Amino acid sequence: MTARQLRLVCASANPDKVDEIKQLLTGIAEMEPRPSTLGEVIEDADSLTGNARLKAVAVCDASGHAAVADDTGLEVDALGGAPGIYAARFAGENATYADNRRKLLDDMNGVEQHLRTARFRTVVIVVWPNGDEIVVEGVCEGQIAAAEMGDAGFGYDSLFIPDDGDGRSFAQMSADEKNMMSHRARAFAALSGALAFHSSTEG
């Protein structure tokens, strides 16, 4: 089996992330949807890797197939690394993307631009029914904008200006532009190599 022929069940229930992961897995693996019978997986680990593993193991057990899961954190230096693993619920358990962005801007109020450094960190994990697993990471350094910029993307995209870009936020870029430098793109690029090596050593 080659990495290109591999079937992976996606652990994410977030449609925005599912669409992005599908794009990033093109030519690497075929992605199948999360089992509809599987309920919410409680992400109560203390790390991105731990939360990604909880989701991947649950989906692998429910589907009987290899599962891929990711978890992403936003680490803002001026906030001591917050929101970190709590990025998706920074403003509360039922927070919307807009709620989280508003809280981040409020918490960063008055912080000078050169001190608004931050990074997105994504951990991707693949778990197989036999217990094998692959864990990879992708990081994108950048800054938090003083106000929202652009209306594409999702999550904190309108507030994150990647250092490797041209001054635009992720939300001002096309999907292809974002996928050239994003944390998730870098993690899935690392996954591609890891899957190819795993396949070559099977059997």
Q: Which residues are catalytic?
A: 71
Contact 125, 49 (CB under 8 A): yes
d(CA 62, CA 80): 37
Contact 159, 149 (CB under 8 A): yes
For strand 133-144 and strand 160-162, is the pairing parallel, antiparallel, or unpaired? antiparallel
Six-digit token string for 168: 């635009």
Which helix or strand (DSSP H or E) is residue 53 part of?
helix 48-63
Block residue for tokens 């591999």: 6
Contact 70, 122 (CB under 8 A): yes
Six-digit token string for 106: 């409020």
